[in-house]
Amino acid sequence: MKVTKKDAVALDKAAIGVSLLCVVHCLSIPFILALGPALNLWFWGSEGFHAALLAVVLPLSLVAFWRGYRTHRNARLWTPGLMGLGIVTVTAILEHFLIGPGTAAVMTSGGGLFLIAAHLMNLKDQRACCSP
């Protein structure tokens, strides 16, 4: 199946949006916790939110990276991309057993920033390779 530039760009933009949502979520947790325990019961403050977000981030990012790579053949996006996916995956798992919400927020935010960087690199490489 031929990957169109429009499809690849749309995937990266969607993945950047989801990664930004992840960062905003993690940075807002201290404020939600400060407002009271009742707010923390809301889905935004639950551990389940990370699992749900991961279920979107992982496949979306992998498809966007693969499609972009097939177009521009520049492997440099895989390092920050896989680091980001690894960090958010490990954090989602460790959050249930070993680490608290503060540590999880910091780790997930860092992973999200790696993902955003990788998607921006992917977009830039696609523009450079595929522009007339």
Measured in residues, the chain has a length of 132
pLDDT value for 90: 92
| Mean of all residue pLDDT scores within the chain | 78
Which of the listed ranges 11-15, 19-23, 34-38 does the model predict with the highest average pLDDT? 11-15
- Per-residue pLDDT of 106-131, as tens digits, reads 888 889 889 989 988 988 888 888 76
Longest dimension (CA), the chain: 55
Could you give the dihedral angle defined by the CA atoms of residues 31, 34, 36 and 37, in that order, rounded to the nearest 10 degrees? Answer: 80
- Per-residue pLDDT of 67-111, as tens digits, reads 889 888 889 989 999 999 999 999 888 887 888 877 887 888 889
pLDDT value for 87: 94
For the chain, how many structural domains are there in total? Answer: 1
Q: What are phi and psi of 41, to 5 degrees?
A: -75, -20
Domain coverage including residue 28: 5-130
Does residue 35 register a pLDDT over 80? no
